[in-house]
Amino acid sequence: MSRKPDPGPDFSTEAQERTYWEHHDSADHIDWSKAAKVRLPNLRPSSTSISLRLPNSLLEQTKVAAGKRDVPYQSRIKIWLAEKIDTSRAKR
């Protein structure tokens, strides 16, 4: 015998909802046996193109470092930025 899922509480803020889901199981509110798989073939992370002026020597050093890791230099720059931001957050 399956029971009808509880629709769950209403939240006035995203923080309240986040706190609730950190401590409750979604199975109490959703009948996952009726869930269907969905394909989203054109889904891409959002990004914004920017223009950044770098000294030629810095760009060349970046390309060399990226080549050593076999990644495009733009990707290497993104990795460095993400690492720097994570390090800065950890120090707070």
The whole-angstrom separation of Cα 18 and Cα 11 is 10
pLDDT at 9: 84
Percentage above 90 pLDDT, the chain? 52
Gap between the Cα atoms of 58 and 64, Å rounded: 10
Q: Which 3 state secondary structure label does DSSP give 24?
A: coil
At 30-49, the pLDDT tens digits run 888 888 999 888 888 888 89
- Predicted local confidence at residue 1, as pLDDT: 44
Percent of the residues in the chain that have a pLDDT greater than 70, as a whole number? 95
